[in-house]
Structure 1
């Protein structure tokens, strides 16, 4: 595969900064850690978990799924506490069902005997079905619905303690037949973070882009393979999307001891030839002093949370596949610190959920 690193000068990153108007806000009575939000028409679903349990041993946790309307009035709450450890990591509404990726089992310190499960929940908040896929560690990827298939990735292990023999799997679950197909990595890959689906082709990315190893699990044209982006150093995966025949992968190097040269990095994978090119943009050219790793995809662009180098305030920025910032929104630091944010931006509205609660803003 062809690989080249291109550093280029950005002509202009000027964009209009928009303010926000807080429309409504709700505090959580149960959730301590928010893991995902889904916004479907007039319905909002927020998933997370809490260590405040009856067992109270520092490891036990209960999972929660809360259904809100767009005024953030709760409609119902589903609580999962039938195991020692219960965590909802991803949620997706599709037609008249809600699908949730749940980890259940028992965790004691670094020893975790937990399993990856898919819950099917009706619109009244009642569990209709559970499917167990296997023992796991860490959080799974997002959920993607593709036709009659539900697709996600997760980390697998044959042990209950942390080790170096982790592998990853892509699960393609047919919602009609209730059958699924597994694609397992041949070696260690970083913890799954995002699934991208294009027709019948599937791409799974981990939370890191490590040098000298595969970075993408690929199921393409009916065949499984693994691709290395050949990064020179360990970078943090941020986002990915497909535009025609190009798979764009957005990463960042936030700096480390001995190497403070922070940069945003784009990889472009030609899906026809598998040729890879890349472009790196230093934070300073973008006017940033720091970058958060929670993102939201909007078409062929990504929303990021950054710290402005001059004002030291946080901002949401919409950056396209070429590194141009096209829109900027103020970040409400009265209701968050930019870390562990779950947000959706659409139709002039911003939905954000974190440990401080769930908020709806008007942005235009």
Structure 2
């Protein structure tokens, strides 16, 4: 009886320690798919798009950027629909401007004739400038800003066909003098997913880490362009990356394929002084995972991800540290999301999450 009582006390404590409370939510009226969110002070920004357009041909899209206050009350909405297809993929507020990467053009089932533009938007939601960067395909990476330089990565194809050969390109745009510097990959890189900057050094990571690819990471270091291969044995999914000191950490997973069901988490450590690469891997079984999703939120020395627990079959947020250990978990709210297409930010004791259902803020312990 005493042991049962202690078990109940411990269980209640664990649930309390890893619980969250839904504070406020807002259902979208215009957005069908969320691509990017940002949270600065008491302002929250959400970018997405919809196929419900005046053209209504199943391929055209209208893009939306919505500014909310801290209670998720909309302050203003910006609609971009001057092309057949308009999608805001990445946003970032910096000082007194909001920067948005927007693809615009004509999209058909087998072709994409689109260009990528940087929209510079005032804090009141007014477009002040539009900087063209040329043709593109697929979706660009996030935006990072280092000093006067706005940096991102995108895909450049030989043609407009979805099967055209493509390479990745890093773009560095000087916000002061408007100068554009480009670095193009020597070979194919999967769709750019994340770019990080460390002083004047830049690193661009693709969505996948292919074993046959001679290049997995595009870099501009010490004034020179170069490429890094991680020499993976399987096609891994890139999750996150961050730099601490002289170590570049890359987090990935192998979700299994029909001929190899041995799923694992893998973390690479690249020494930026001598370019040596070490790695560790942990099986899903060791971690207690059944599945892992592919969108994360970086904490700078750890990553929040979304996993499915093997034992309970529940979906959870998991905080993964640089050693591949899970420091904390939070239950995922399946009543307000599906866990696959999520954009989320952890900030102090708050969690901001946005998906096709809407946008919501939680308080967590």
TM-score range, shorter chain: over 0.9
Q: Is the 8 A contact 1:209 1:215 kept in 2?
A: yes
The whole-number CA distance in structure 2 between the counterparts of 1:164 and 1:231 is 25
The corresponding residue for 2:245 is: 244
**Structure 1: which 5+ runs fail to align?**
1-13
Counterpart of 2:263?
262
How far the C-alpha of 1:157 sits from its partner, in A, is 1.3
**1:163-174 alignment, distance < 5 Å:** 163-174=163-174
Q: In the alignment, which residue of structure 1 is the partner of 2:225?
A: 224
* CA distance in 2: counterparts of 1:108 and 1:274, whole angstroms: 43
| Residue pair 2:264, 2:281 contacting (<8 A) in 1 also | yes
In structure 2, distance between residues paired with 1:334 and 1:130: 39
Measured after TM superposition, the shift of residue 163 of structure 1 is 2.5
Query: Equivalent residue for 2:7?
Result: none
Question: 1:97 corresponds to which residue?
Answer: 97
Name the structure 1 match of 2:117.
117
Structure 1 residues 230, 290: CA separation in 2 closer, same or farther (over 3 Å shift)? Answer: same
Could you tell me the TM-score, scaled by structure 2's length?
A: 0.95
1:177-192 correspondence to structure 2 within 5 Å: 177-192=177-192
Q: Distance in 2 between matches of 1:103 and 1:222?
A: 29
User: In 2, distance between residues paired with 1:155 and 1:239?
Assistant: 19
- Change in Cα spacing, 1:34 to 1:358, as seen in structure 2 (3 Å) is same
2:362 aligned with 1:357: no
Larger relative contact order, structure 1 or 2 (CA cutoff 8 Å, min sep 6): 1
Larger proportion of helix: 2
CA distance, structure 2, for counterparts of residue 289 and residue 199 of structure 1: 38
- Moved segments of 4+, more than 4 Å: 14-17
Root-mean-square deviation over aligned CA pairs: 1.2
Map of 1:56 onto structure 2: 56
Structure 1 60/95 Cα, relative in aligned 2: closer, same or farther at 3 Å? same
More off after superposition, 17-26 vs 119-128: 17-26
Q: Secondary structure at the match of 1:284?
A: helix
Instruction: Report how many aligned residue pairs link the two structures.
Output: 351
1:81 matched to which residue of 2? 81
Question: 1 CA distance for matches of 2:280 and 2:134?
Answer: 38
Counterparts of 1:314 and 1:341 in 2: how far apart (Å)?
13
Q: Which runs of 5 or more residues in structure 2 are unaligned? A: 1-13
